[in-house]
Amino acid sequence: MTTELNPFDVAKKQIDIVAKEMGLDPNIREYLKRVERSLIVSIPIMMDDGSLKIFEGYRVHHSTVRGPGKGGIRYSPDVNLDEVKALATWMTFKCSLLNLPLGGAKGGVRVNPRKLSERELERLTRRYTAEIINVIGPDIDIPAPDIATDKKVMSWIMDTYSMQKGRSTPGVVTGKPIEIGGSVGREQATGMGIYFVLQGLCEKLNFNYKELSYVVQGFGNVGGTIAELLYNDGCKILAISDISTGIFYEGGLDIPKLLEWVKYGNYLKDYKDDRYKLITNDELITSKCDILIPAAIENQIAKDNANNIDCKIILEGANGPTTPKADKILFKKGIHVVPDILANSGGVCVSYFEYIQDIHSYFWKLDRINKELKRIIIEAFEETYRISQKRKINLRTAAYVIAVGRLAKAIELRGFFP
């Protein structure tokens, strides 16, 4: 992984690029480069052995000018305030691009959840929720799962918030179990969104996506879902990876067996198949393929490896996997990069569906979820592609032109207080 820029610097640079392209009011540009509020909290918990450990947590609101904040919570030993600021910023633009009435937020705790027992993880989650309780809520900021958090964690957050408020409040988080207000289709939503965008772009480029080869970095919820969808369509997935290693097989990996393996917490490095070759993260990123899907963490494609990328299309399943300098190199190489705020926006889209289902206490069937998801994400893709062709710019800048334009108009209409 490159450390060329910290993620928040990348986010601000992306704003500068689009501001220049669209002639954005300098005051709006500076406004969008700042977050509305950042909260840093200490999270003391008693460990199972009776010792006290104190973890650091964050919750950031980048913008609520178009609606309440929306964004995940990640548990990672590497998470920091600038990373959370960047992720909150990208969420603002993602929601704006899809024209959802939401703003951008994000949260995180500096912890390795694999080193905690389930009881310790629950204590951590409940104390973190108590510490951020005044900046979250259905009308303020609605968290969701992210790296190393899941529906169980969301259940604890929802319960802790509800107990403090004295009433059941399922709309405080999304990504919950269906039994307590979750939505069908939410777990697969980000991967499903990538799938719809892939089909839309391949149609524009006259590619048959079923005949293409794929490399997927990351084999969690997002990477695993898109890999499974592609495998079921007969596509060849050459390589995948998790935090332990990458694995490669030119004949195509058996995705269902690998999904079953990691389902129980196993690492890919321990999977036994003599046909499969272990590869490094750098080898995976630069593997020759038709479609590369970085679905892990930010800053994976940068100026030091962009020239070695050998594919036709990059679909950003992760947030911020490509730096601005890499973007320029890839554009010159003729590689189509579908940006994160479009490619992986299926998750926030179905989170929005879950949120409004909770508010109205009326729940949808899966076919309606997927139909609405496809409609919204393809509308955003079509507009992004049209602007990229008209202005002769890359898809990322085109997506930002749309998102920033909507935000600028909202800011202009609301004005500045006082």
Straight-line distance from the first to the last Cα atom of the chain, in angstroms, rounded to the nearest whole number? 44
SS3 per-residue string spanning 230-284: HHHCCCEEEEEECCCCEEECCCCCCHHHHHHHHCCCCCHHHCCCCCCEEECHHHH
Q: Which amino acid belongs to residue 182?
A: G
Of 364, 383, 387, 365, nearest to 375 (Cα)? 383
Instruction: State the Cα angle at 116 between 42 and 163, rounded to 5°.
Output: 60
Q: Is 332 exposed, middle or buried (0-12, 13-18, 19+ CB in 10 A)?
A: exposed
CA distance 102 to 56: 27
The phi and psi torsions of 255 (rounded to 5 degrees) equal: -65, -45
106 is catalytic: yes
SS3 per-residue string spanning 356-371: HHHHHCCCCCHHHHHH
181 neighbors 209 (Cβ within 8 angstroms): no
CA distance 19 to 35: 17
58 neighbors 85 (Cβ within 8 angstroms): no
CA distance 208 to 360: 41
Catalytic residue among 12, 70, 94, 106: 106
CA distance 68 to 328: 34
Catalytic site positions:
106
